[in-house]
Amino acid sequence: MKLNFPSIPERITYLLDGRKTYPWALSIGISKGSMESVMKLGGMLGGDALSAIGRCENARIDWLLDGRGAPYSVDCATSDDGAAELLQDLLEEHWNITIVTDGQRIALVLHQPGSFDVKDRKDDNGVQQYRTIEYSIIEVIVGHIGRRTMELVRSRTKQGVSLVAATADVVTQIERGRMGTWRLLQAPEAVLQDAEQIGSRHRIFSQFNQQELFPASKEEAILLDHYRAMGPENRVAINQITTSMAEYGKAADLKGKASS
């Protein structure tokens, strides 16, 4: 399902996901007046406000401004080597790593504490004061995650690696950039809140190799992506059509072999 939020206030409301606008804005360093000018008067978000929302929600600035692409930042790897390189670069810093899997696909969610300063009120002498905003820095890697990437994850188990068994819908939402910091880490039923810490001998490192599960071609990857986005009724129809086409193809092959 394509997200359709024509205006900035609608996109901010989507990010809020039930949270109250002004307490949320103040918590990330945006004044009530600045937020009111956007939500009620059609004003634009300033650079500092955009930066704060991008950082604290893992939101994409392009999407905030004009609705292009996915709401949240995700690194989608097209190969296991690509995923491993992304992860290797990140592992130069200390991250908490969580493996999110539905038993068929894997998403890696990395997070660590971060902070930035925002302008606050001036003191009695007119000197500008600043306030520190603490937030969670997040990186999400999805796509073709296989043996090489998982070996890198295994090498970090002493520093802390966790596992979450999720539904197929949750993994799809993460893959599509539709699940940000709030839903992953902070909401009352956040995806990562029940993460289980695992060791290097956990079966996921020896039994799960997503490289073998992924399609062999770009065309198959596109078809699989479309299929996952369909509702149950459409999936049944597609299954019936593809089964009929496959049976017809096999029958034609057998007929060709018999006549040759």
pLDDT tens per residue across span 113-155: 999 998 888 888 888 889 999 999 999 999 999 999 999 999 9
**190 inside domain:** yes
43 and 132 housed in the same domain: no
User: Among 72-86, 167-181, 206-220, where is mean pLDDT lowest?
Assistant: 206-220
Name the band, by pLDDT with cuts 50, 70 and 90, for residue 85: very high
3-class state of residue 145 by DSSP: coil
101 and 222 housed in the same domain: no
Helices 218-229 and 168-175: crossing angle, nearest 10°? 120
pTM score: 0.78
**3 inside domain:** no
46 and 141 housed in the same domain: no
162 and 110 housed in the same domain: yes
Percent of the chain scoring above 70 in pLDDT: 83
Q: What pLDDT was estimated at residue 211?
A: 43
Number of domains in the chain: 3
Q: What pLDDT was estimated at residue 125?
A: 87
Of the residues 16, 43, 66, the one at which a domain ends? 66
- Which position has the higher pLDDT, 60 or 124? 60
**Chain-wide mean pLDDT for the chain?**
87
- Cβ atoms of residues 145 and 101 within 8 Å: no
Rounded Cα distance, 124 and 79, in Å: 58
Percent of the chain scoring above 90 in pLDDT: 66
**238 inside domain:** yes
Q: Which residues contact 164 (CB under 8 A, 6 or more apart)?
A: 98, 99, 100, 101, 191, 192, 194, 195, 196
**235 inside domain:** yes
Q: What pLDDT was estimated at residue 163?
A: 97
Write out the residue range of the structural domain in which residue 204 sits. Answer: 75-213
- Which position has the higher pLDDT, 209 or 97? 97
185 and 242 housed in the same domain: no
CA angle (151 as vertex; 148, 156 as ends), nearest 5: 140
Name the band, by pLDDT with cuts 50, 70 and 90, for residue 245: confident
Q: What pLDDT was estimated at residue 252?
A: 63
Q: What pLDDT was estimated at residue 219?
A: 63
Q: What pLDDT was estimated at residue 120?
A: 83
Residue 257 confidence (pLDDT) above 80: no
119 and 105 housed in the same domain: yes
